């Protein structure tokens, strides 16, 4: 048996951006272009070609059999491109990839599903694609259906499935048909909280079963809990490879370097998006360093293209290990008004009190959505900040091993009652 399950050697993937798609030409256009070609050559005029863009460059790492490796990085870092190369969906421009074993991948909702086939038929189709016999698939069939919870719709064409049903069935197939190598992208974020919990439990079982797993996720706590090692990719390059705990800490800390406490985001053609997110200190200025006793604000600026009812602006706060501390949303606030759902540019802010967060490093994921209806924008780990102990606080902070929240509950001390 090989001592390597996945070998990636100097892989690069180049795309060309800015190239115009050629339209249909008439015979007259073609003859005219041919006649003008010598003149263009004599004049030395060459039309500029499309600009090359390297989504990946010089990426190298090995994964041992039975190892669970996480891949982290910001949006657009090249993570999904790497998984498409490893899944043999796209060829690398440079370098090579060696895979030792049968590969099962779950990169997008419904990847490998035929929309006209039923759920039952797609289970067998996916198993056949993985190279499994009909008897092997039949042996796992009931377990897959029970996991996906789609018994009532098993003989319905999957084109009628909701995105949640799609992803439950897709993950059930990918994780139960026992490929030697399982590749999973951030597709689990599509499901509801109960499904995500069940899926992460299934991932843990797969990992303990000795199979090789590549796991891309912005859920850093899941990465540290499930993965042995972690690969951090930034702008198409490998930034760091090491233990999951160490790599996640480096990733979060790097988010603070060079930041001013404010992140500007580009405009996008969608119903709603964040345009700026800021951490504002007690003096009213953006800052990525806040004193432990200092109240501060999180300010979320966003744009809406249309009126949205029941809009919620929310955030998740994570500690330096990627563990979720808490979630807070405007819909749960008595100060939330309907005006926030009108089209145009809007802002929402939330005040966090002093002596609340313990000294340490934190990261924020911002969410803009209609609760239980649709997500407009989600910015994972979009901004980070540090809480520092200035020494002037009356709160006597004892150390970093006592959690992330500072609490001051009332206590009553009294003499022990006399023993009878």
pLDDT-derived band at 338 (thresholds 50, 70, 90) equals very low
For residue 71, pLDDT beyond 90: yes
The mean of the pLDDT values for the chain is 81
How far, in Å, CA of 275 to CA of 313, rounded?
13
User: What mean pLDDT comes out for the span 329-357?
Assistant: 77
The DSSP H or E segment spanning 136 is helix 134-148
User: What was the pLDDT predicted at 27?
Assistant: 62
Domains and CATH numbers, the chain: 53-254 (3.40.50.300), 262-394 (2.70.50.60)
**Is 90 exceeded by the pLDDT of residue 9?**
yes
SS (H, E, C) 44-80: CCCCCCCEEEEEEEEEEEEECCCCEEEEECCCCCCHH
Q: Give the per-residue pLDDT at 399.
A: 47
Q: Residue holding tokens 């899926």?
A: 199
Residue 277 CB neighbours (<10 A): 22
Q: Residues 326, 322, 197, CA angle at the centre, nearest 5°?
A: 70
pLDDT tens digits, 11-69: 999 987 765 555 556 666 666 777 666 666 666 655 555 678 899 999 999 999 989 99
The sheet with strand 68-72 has its strands ordered as 103-106, 181-184, 212-216, 68-72, 229-234, 237-243
Is the pTM value of this prediction over 0.85? Answer: no
Q: Is 295 exposed, middle or buried (0-12, 13-18, 19+ CB in 10 A)?
A: middle
Count of residues for the chain?
420
- Count CB-CB contacts under 10 A for residue 206: 22
CA dihedral 126, 128, 134, 136 (to 10 degrees): -70
Question: How many CB atoms within 10 Å of residue 159?
Answer: 12
313 beta partners: 368
At 153, is the secondary structure helix, strand, or coil? helix
Dihedrals phi, psi of 248, to nearest 5 degrees: -65, -40
End-to-end CA distance of the chain: 72
Where residue 259 falls among pLDDT bands split at 50, 70, 90? low
pLDDT of 43:
61
């Amino acid at each position: 048996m090989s001592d390597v399950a996945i070998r990636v050697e100097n892989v690069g993937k180049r795309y060309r951006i800015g190239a115009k798609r050629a339209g249909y030409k008439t015979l007259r256009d073609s003859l005219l272009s041919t006649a003008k070609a010598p003149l263009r050559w004599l004049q030395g005029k060459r039309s500029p070609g499309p600009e090359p863009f390297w989504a990946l460059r010089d990426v190298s790492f090995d994964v041992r059999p039975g190892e669970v490796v996480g891949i982290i990085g910001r949006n657009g870092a090249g993570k999904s491109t790497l998984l498409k190369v490893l899944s043999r969906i796209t060829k690398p421009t440079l370098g090579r990839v060696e895979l030792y074993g049968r590969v099962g991948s779950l990169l997008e909702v419904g990847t490998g599903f035929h929309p006209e086939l039923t759920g039952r038929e797609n289970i067998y189709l996916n198993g056949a694609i993985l190279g499994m016999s009909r008897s092997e698939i039949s042996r796992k069939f009931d377990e897959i259906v029970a996991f996906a919870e789609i018994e009532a719709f098993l003989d319905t064409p999957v084109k009628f499935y909701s995105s949640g049903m799609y992803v439950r069935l897709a993950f059930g197939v990918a994780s139960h048909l026992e490929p030697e190598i399982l590749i999973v992208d951030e597709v689990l974020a599509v499901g509801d909280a109960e499904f995500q919990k069940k899926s992460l439990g299934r991932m843990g079982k797969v990992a303990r079963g000795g199979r090789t797993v590549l796991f891309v996720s912005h859920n850093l706590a899941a990465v540290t809990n499930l993965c042995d090692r972690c690969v951090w990719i930034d702008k198409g390059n490998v930034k760091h490879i090491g233990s999951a705990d160490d790599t996640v800490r480096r990733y979060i800390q790097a988010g603070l370097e060079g930041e001013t406490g404010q992140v500007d985001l580009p405009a996008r053609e969608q119903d709603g998006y964040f345009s700026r997110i800021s951490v504002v200190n007690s003096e009213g200025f953006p800052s990525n360093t806040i004193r432990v006793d200092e109240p501060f604000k999180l300010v979320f600026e966003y744009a809406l293209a249309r009126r949205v009812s029941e809009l919620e602006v929310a955030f998740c706060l994570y500690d330096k290990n990627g563990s979720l501390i808490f979630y807070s949303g405007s819909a749960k606030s008595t100060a939330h008004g309907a005006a926030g759902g009108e089209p145009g540019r809007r802002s929402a802010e939330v005040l966090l009190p002093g002596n609340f967060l313990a000294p340490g490093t934190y990261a924020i994921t911002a969410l803009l959505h209609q609760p239980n209806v649709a997500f407009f924008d989600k910015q994972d780990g979009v901004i980070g900040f540090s809480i520092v102990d200035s020494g002037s606080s009356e709160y006597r902070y004892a150390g970093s091993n006592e959690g992330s929240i500072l609490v001051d509950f009332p206590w009553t001390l009294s003499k022990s009652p006399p023993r009878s």
